[in-house]
Structure 1
Amino acid sequence: MASRAGTVALPSDLVDVTALLDAYYDVRPDPADPGQRVAFGTSGHRGSSLRASFNEAHIAAITQAIVEYRAGQGFSGPLFLAKDTHALSEPAQNTALEVLAGNGVHVLIDARHGYTPTPALSHAILRYNRSAAAAASGKADGIVVTPSHNPPADGGFKYNPPHGGPADTDATGWIAGRANELLETGLQGVKRVPLPEALSAGSTGKFDFLSSYVDDLPSVLDLDAVRSAGVRIGADPMGGASVDYWGEIGERHNLDLTVINPTVDPQWAFMTLDWDEKIRMDCSSPAAMASLIELLESGARYDIATGNDADADRHGIVTPDAGLMNPNSYLAVAIDYLYTHRKQWPSSASVGKTLVSSSIIDRVAADLGRKLVEVPVGFKWFVPGLLSGEGVFGGEESAGASFVKKDGSVWTTDKDGILLALLASEITAVTGKTPSQHYGELTAKFGSPSYARIDAPASREQKAALGRLAAADVQATTLAGEDITAKLTEAPGNGAAIGGLKVTTESAWFAARPSGTEDVYKIYAESFKGPEHLAQVQAEAKALVDQVISGDSVNG
């Protein structure tokens, strides 16, 4: 049977929103079931009310734990509370507000009663914490209710401390542990008031996330150049939280910008199915972005078209000459452009990338004379550098990145899909070439990599074994016909454990990491010798990892 990936969703693919919302309130999670406990991944706690992993009890417990955590840390400023367009986001935000008000926490919710992108939340936290108000009231932090690009049945809940970025594992570990204690005691210790009382409480206020973010964009982007060049922009919110932001960006900054499909639908019935025939708002996926790609192929007159996921922390860049760019390709172009066009950035500032991002970034950074800082997966690793100005750019292979303002000061410390999407228009305006044309120039100079990710089955025990690997456990000396040059279980940029393994050769590499949500491990691989060599790297990588996590020795 032919795959339906890239085709518009059918009624049978759509979630039953009523059942989803009923389950949020009616289903009581069993703390004895590991799958129903609170668990923070790299981007917060995620789950579905239909699987008893994202329900009212979870959110009440997590919020109470955050209240106690921030009190213990001395965070006494306002807490910014935001949500995206997933069906579970509004009830979860309401539950959180009831608990926050019950604890007397000063909460700021969206003044427009709308949706808030993750980068707008990060921007708001940072801006407040640099103000005189923070000196008087204490540092602000925030919660954004989003499962990012996950399917419509999912919910997500993420905490951002005063540094504005994703909370680190020390914070999330404490919060998850306390939340599970509260679940085990039937929520004893959770303070809560009814929603009407929470909304009218003196501790609940309003904040205009949109204006704060949109009006500040000229400090980080050359929108004058975009406007002067008349770059025609097509922006697809993909049914997500950026829906109102794009229209305001075009209007306030007088850009030739069209909002493509401003529909908000909790079923996402307009979406084309992802590679696995699921609805997933992944703006880096050709299948999920099929409608936008087809629009340009059919002759739509946009110089740049972009997509964002549900909380707008990811970007997808579509050009008329090349279609959807691979996220790694665009990151390389963005780095090459920014480090040669931001004259006020420190000459010593490094380039930040995750260790599963393309090695063409390494070659670009070396050509620029910049230090490369390679960190584990997770945007939280870029936060210190973005705050200090030592790392002016941080990017992930999964289409998430951010960079500092023109003057080198911090913009956001969370991924910003709107920012990176607008940068594509700046690049086009300033250079007269699309990002995909620039990438062609980079590959002519540095070589053309073949890159892919595959998933392989693994039990919970095998995933744990992969996470505990030491470099010495791998005895192999060659990979796909080349000598192995490094075996890494710690990121070279900061020495942090990568929770897996990376193996490199002169022209190729692979990295293997256990999934945090499924019984699989992920193999990322790249080769500068072409697709056939990449396939050989993938096959040998899978065999090597399977043997190691099964307890067998591996010899080259």
Structure 2
Amino acid sequence: MADINAGKLPVKTIDMELLKKEFFNPSGSLAKVKFGTSGHRGELGKGFCALHAKAIAQAVAKMHKEDGIKGPVLVGGDTRLMSKTVSEICACILAANGIDVILPSIPLPTPVFSMEILLGRACACLNGTASHNPPQDMGLKYNPSNGGPADSSVTSKIEEYANYFMATPSEIKEIGLEEAKQSGLIKEEDVITPYITELAKVIDFDAIKEKGLKAAIHPMGGTSLPFYKAIKEKYKLDNLTIVNETIDPTFYFIPLDHDGKTRMDPSSQYPMKPLIDIVAAGEYDFAGASDPDADRFGCATKEGGLINPNHALCVMAEYLISKNKSNFDKYIGRTLGTTHLLDFIAKSAGVEIDEQNVGFKYFVQGIKDGKYILCGEESAGMSKSGWTTEKDGIFAVLLLLEIMSKNADIAYLYKEITKKYGVSYYTRVDIPTDDETKAKVKSLKATDVASVTEVAGEKVEKVRDTDGIKIYLQNSWFLVRPSGTENIIKFYCESFISEEQMLKIVKEGSAALGIKLS
């Protein structure tokens, strides 16, 4: 992958005015509404424009009326260029359809949408975000009454209705923002206090305060900023410092990622370089970050530098098992591409592993049912039963800080885990591709790879074809699947033998599946 600019600040500014123009008057054929693993996303313009927002909001209004869904819809978004505008558009469309709307004046983290629904203050939400994608992108997510990402039965209906309204915009009902506010259908609520109050039920703030580890927090220009500020004040965490409060839709202050793009990914070493540097210099013991919509986490420590999300999940799993010795159900949930080291941890604790397709929506019901000690994914998302049914980067950062405050450096704790269960050699390769190739990979079935009985000297023990193709070997595994939100194919591999074996599996496994890695 190209990394000429990686770790450096953007070399030129983004043309905000052009993107605004494209949002309202897109050039080229408009993309159809398509919900990936979490919502519809696209570049401002033909990928995501005002009509996309209107059509999705009208589709949600139609679905709510047909299904008899009652209650206010929480509408908001992150700190991106058009998020506030998208939120107001959606609020006005819903109000025009007679639906009550909660429209906060501040940008909202994804887990806060979930919390508001779980607390019964909203029946559903529309969330304007494109997660950690580049600043030119925009998106919309819908969460139903369970507070989590909508499942395919719901998103397919929204897609169908939204694409109909894209083709027949005259059927979209609209009123102006002031008229909607005057009608009483749009109101504002305090969304900070309920969330940070609930946090005290799952985070030991006294331990964090008493230990006093010097902790740096970077909101990465996102929605978590006022929430971290409120947490610091309410729980008197003088040891917690917000090291960058910049809010700018160009995200010019975030170092470029491995491919030279601005991508606010808290699990990547490039955007996280400022935090890695300050813990390496000894200024802080711990540094935590959340992406712009705060559903992903990242952390760096003095001993370990940037902590791999898989490593963090293992440390969190062991800790939560010990913290809840007699008060948890029998599962650790992980997605297909997440480390199998969690399997060893689960087996040792006498609990089960629940392996799900990629997408947090597959954990939602289990979280609500009290099933999970922890559920997580390798792309730095996690939650647990008794908490939000969305990924929560704020909760994850604070939990990691709690763990360090009570135990030791996260890197040290992970090494202790590998001493017990073995070292994991893990990689993920993102391969640029096109829609046709993605469709082919998505359609692969176990029967298509029946002739593959051995890879890199390890026998094939099982094949799963529910989300791409995952091949389980004796002491390793690999997975190939198309991204739900980007034009890339993701190739994952993990071996418990050696790094050399992992690289051999990547080479032979990709060849066996007909995947070109470069």
Q: TM-score band, normalised by the shorter chain?
A: over 0.9
Unaligned runs of 5+ in 1: 130-138, 405-409, 490-496, 549-556
Q: Aligned AA for 2:358?
A: V
Mapped partners of 2:313, 2:357: distance in 1: 17
Q: Aligned AA for 1:254?
A: K
Q: String of CA shifts for 1:401-421, please: whole Å, max 9, x gaps.
A: 0123xxxxx320000000000
CA contact (8 A) 1:512 1:523 kept: yes
* Cross-structure match for 2:161: 178
* Cross-structure match for 2:246: 263
Q: Aligned AA for 2:409?
A: T
* Cross-structure match for 1:121: 113
Mapped partners of 1:459, 1:152: distance in 2: 22
Mapped partners of 1:395, 1:64: distance in 2: 33
Mapped partners of 2:149, 2:410: distance in 1: 29
CA contact (8 A) 1:29 1:57 kept: no
Q: Secondary structure at the match of 1:40?
A: coil
CA drift of 1:104 comes to 1.5
Q: Secondary structure at the match of 1:386?
A: helix
Q: Does 1:445 align with 2:447?
A: no
Aligned pairs for 1:51-130 (under 5 A) are: 52-110=46-104, 113-128=105-120
Q: Aligned AA for 1:122?
A: S
Q: Secondary structure at the match of 2:217?
A: strand
* Cross-structure match for 2:318: 336
CA drift of 1:29 comes to 6.4
* Cross-structure match for 1:23: 22
CA drift of 1:517 comes to 4.4
CA contact (8 A) 1:510 1:526 kept: yes
Q: Does 1:217 align with 2:199?
A: yes
Q: Pick the aligned partner of 2:390 from 414, 419, 423.
A: 414
CA drift of 1:428 comes to 1.3
* Cross-structure match for 1:385: 366
CA contact (8 A) 2:3 2:259 kept: no
* Cross-structure match for 2:44: 49
* Cross-structure match for 1:532: 500
* Cross-structure match for 2:130: 147
Q: Aligned AA for 1:421?
A: V
* Cross-structure match for 2:439: 464
CA contact (8 A) 1:424 1:434 kept: no
CA contact (8 A) 1:325 1:436 kept: yes
Q: Aligned AA for 1:194?
A: G
Mapped partners of 1:469, 1:22: distance in 2: 40
Q: 1:378 to 1:257 in 2, by over 3 A?
A: same
Q: Pick the aligned partner of 2:175 from 193, 198, 203.
A: 193
Aligned pairs for 1:114-513 (under 5 A) are: 114-128=106-120, 140-185=123-168, 187-255=169-237, 256-300=239-283, 302-343=284-325, 345-346=327-328, 348-404=329-385, 410-431=386-407, 433-456=408-431, 458-474=433-449, 475-489=451-465, 497-498=466-467, 500-513=468-481
Q: Aligned AA for 2:262?
A: I
Mapped partners of 2:194, 2:6: distance in 1: 38
Mapped partners of 1:330, 1:70: distance in 2: 39
CA drift of 1:290 comes to 0.8
Mapped partners of 1:146, 1:430: distance in 2: 35
User: What do you get for the CA RMSD once the two structures are aligned?
Assistant: 1.7
CA contact (8 A) 2:338 2:377 kept: yes
TM value normalised by structure 2: 0.96
Mapped partners of 2:487, 2:241: distance in 1: 41
CA contact (8 A) 1:29 1:55 kept: no
Q: Secondary structure at the match of 2:171?
A: coil
Q: Secondary structure at the match of 2:431?
A: strand
Q: String of CA shifts for 1:520-554, please: whole Å, max 9, x gaps.
A: 42111111222221111111121111179xxxxxx
Mapped partners of 1:161, 1:467: distance in 2: 26
CA drift of 1:344 comes to 5.2
Q: Aligned AA for 1:454?
A: V
CA drift of 1:28 comes to 6.4
Mapped partners of 2:202, 2:216: distance in 1: 20
Q: Secondary structure at the match of 1:293?
A: helix
CA drift of 1:345 comes to 2.2
Q: String of CA shifts for 1:439-482, please: whole Å, max 9, x gaps.
A: 01001111111111113355533322222222121111111111
CA drift of 1:518 comes to 4.4
* Cross-structure match for 2:8: 7
Mapped partners of 1:199, 1:19: distance in 2: 30
Mapped partners of 1:8, 1:456: distance in 2: 24
Aligned residues: 513
Q: 1:411 to 1:545 in 2, by over 3 A?
A: same
Identity of aligned residues (%): 37
Q: Secondary structure at the match of 2:170?
A: coil
CA drift of 1:305 comes to 0.8
Q: String of CA shifts for 1:252-305, please: whole Å, max 9, x gaps.
A: 0111211110110111111101010100000000011111111222221x2221
CA drift of 1:89 comes to 0.7
Mapped partners of 2:378, 2:24: distance in 1: 36
CA contact (8 A) 1:28 1:55 kept: no
CA drift of 1:200 comes to 3.0
CA drift of 1:231 comes to 2.6
Q: Secondary structure at the match of 2:48?
A: coil
CA contact (8 A) 1:61 1:179 kept: yes
Mapped partners of 1:2, 1:158: distance in 2: 31
Q: Secondary structure at the match of 1:234?
A: strand
CA contact (8 A) 1:349 1:389 kept: no
Q: Secondary structure at the match of 1:541?
A: helix
